[in-house]
Chains A and B, each alone.
Chain A
């Protein structure tokens, strides 16, 4: 039931782009994206909803493919501050229950 994230880890140079994927075996109602720095709390980035509404961050974008039950997070022109672990959290069912199932995370390291 846990969504599968890929890749597990990415190393970039500043200015490079990255894509992180989140794939679920269950129909999706929503997908949340969070970034967590080591030892800190996760910080919200983006929500994508069934039906196409998207809410979130200015410099990071995401897509939501209902049919494929997948979401992808796009990090363009990466900065050092983008380093951390990215988690997708998926909501299921026909309406919002608030309950999310989180993927195992993708570790991103941006080097100068």
Chain B
């Protein structure tokens, strides 16, 4: 079955520690995205990548970093510089083309930092 996997589902960390969230897709999509969702809020774009070895900052990139060494993988690191990291993190992917294509979302990782 094709899809997006995110691991782990729940993650707990102490303040001051960096943490990396995994995102893997086998849909052969060129574009991948990371969103943050806070309770009762919409999705805010952290980073996105349309091609391997290239990525762009979204609206709330401060305190986060990403890499895109493989088409299938787009890990997100939440650094200690992120002031309020506790949130639900969603990874998505899509086809890239002239038209606009649906984004397929992974199941999400709920990060709690104390």
A-side interface residues, number (CB < 8 Å)? 29
Question: What separation, in Å, do the CA atoms of A104 and B43 have in the docked complex?
Answer: 8
* Residue in B42, B48, B97, B101 whose beta carbon sits within 8 Å of that of A103 in the complex: B42
| Residues of chain A within 8 A of B33, CB atoms compared | 98
Contact (Cβ within 8 A) A41 B108: yes
Closest to B110 in A: A39
Q: Could you tell me if B104 and A44 are in contact, using CB atoms closer than 8 angstroms?
A: yes
Q: Looking at chain B, what size class is its interface with the partner chain? A: 20 to 34
In the complex, what residues of B have CB within 8 A of residue A87's CB?
Answer: 42-43
- Chain B residues lying within 8 Å of A32, measured Cβ to Cβ, are 100, 102-103
User: Are B41 and A104 interface neighbours, CB within 8 A?
Assistant: yes
Report if A96-B90 is in contact (Cβ < 8 Å); known contacts: A44-B102, A104-B41.
no
Contact yes or no, A41 B107, CB < 8 A: yes
Of residues 22 to 57 in A, which have CB atoms within 8 Å of B's CB atoms?
A: 29-30, 32, 34, 39-44, 47, 49, 53, 55
Bound complex: CA A102 to CA B92 (Å):
14
Contacts of A2 in B (CB 8 A): 42
Q: B4: nearest residue on chain A (CB-CB)?
A: A41
Contacts of B100 in A (CB 8 A): 29-30, 32, 47, 49, 91, 96, 98
Any chain B CB within 8 A of the CB of A81?
Answer: no
Q: Closest approach, in angstroms, between the C-beta of B5 and any C-beta of chain A?
A: 11
Cβ of B80 within 8 Å of any chain A Cβ, yes or no, is no
| Residues of B bordering A, CB below 8 Å | 31, 33, 35, 40-45, 48, 50, 56, 58-59, 90, 94, 96-108
Across chains A and B, which 8 residue pairs bring their CB atoms closest together, nearest first?
Answer: A30-B100, A41-B105, A102-B42, A44-B102, A102-B43, A104-B42, A96-B100, A98-B31
Give chain A's interface residues, CB within 8 Å of chain B: 2, 29-30, 32, 34, 39-44, 47, 49, 53, 55, 87, 89, 91, 95-105
Known: A89-B103, A104-B40. 4 other contacts (CB 8 A): A32-B102, A42-B43, A99-B48, A99-B58
Provide a sorted-by-A list of 22 A–B residue pairs whose CB atoms are within 8 angstroms: A2-B42, A29-B100, A34-B105, A39-B108, A41-B105, A41-B107, A41-B108, A42-B43, A44-B103, A47-B100, A55-B102, A87-B42, A87-B43, A89-B43, A96-B98, A98-B33, A98-B48, A98-B100, A98-B101, A102-B44, A105-B40, A105-B41
